[in-house]
Amino acid sequence: MPKGKKVHEEEEVQNEDLNHTEDDQIDEPQETSPEDQINELNDKYLRLYSEFDNYRKRTSKERLELFKTAGQDILTDLLPVLDDFERAIQNMDSSDDSEAIQTGINLIYNKFKSILENKGLKHFKSIETEFDPEIHEAITKIPAPNKKLKGKVVDEIEKGYMLNDKVIRFAKVVVGE
C-alpha cells in the first residue's frame, strides 16, 4: 500500500471515532441544574399567567362593548315606528277625520307589535287558565263567578310577556276563589 493511501485511511478511522464520540454525546441528555429547571418552569408559568391575564382583559372589554351595543339592533328596527308616530302626530293637528287617524294608529301599533314578535317577544294567555305563580302575579282574589273558574284567572290587569321562552313580565291577574 502506498503511504498516502495508508495515511488517508487512518484519517478516516480517526474521523469515524470522532463522529462516534459526538453521536454518543448527542444521545446522552444534558443534565440541567435544578436552578435552570426552576427558572424554565417559572418562565413558562409567567408566560401562561400573562396569556390568561390578556385573555381575561380582552373578554372583559368585549363584554363591555356588547352591553353598550346590545340594544342597537332593536332600536334600529324601532326607528321607523318612531318616524310613523311623528308623522301621525303632525297629521292629527291638520286632520278632522278621526277614522283615518284611528286606522293610522292601528297600522303603527301592528308594525310595532310585529317588530317585537320578530325579536322573540310573545304575549301569553292568562284568562281562564289555572293560576301559575311562575308566570302570574296575583293582584287580588275575588269570588269566582262560577265553579269552573275556582283557582283560575278571572281577569287580567296587565299582560304578561315572554322573551324567547323566558318570562320578562309577569301577568298581573285577578284569581277566582
Residue 33, φ and ψ in degrees, nearest 5: -75, 155
Instruction: Say what the pLDDT of residue 92 is.
Output: 83
Task: Decide if 172 contacts 157 (C-beta within 8 A).
Answer: yes
| Count of residues making up the chain | 177
Instruction: Provide the residue ranges of all domains of the chain, joining segments of one domain with +.
Output: 69-119, 122-177
pLDDT in tens, 116-150: 999 999 999 999 999 999 999 999 999 988 888 89
82 beta partners: none
Nearest in space to 151 (alpha carbons), one of 124, 128, 123: 128
Q: Tell whether domain 122-177 is in CATH 2.30.22.10.
A: yes
Is pLDDT at 107 greater than 80 in this prediction? Answer: yes
SS3 of 102-165? HHHHHHHHHHHHHHHHHCCEEEECCCCCECCCCCEEEEEEECCCCHHHCCEEEEEEECEEEECC
Packing angle between helix 98-118 and helix 72-94, nearest 10 degrees? 180
Q: pTM for the whole thing?
A: 0.59
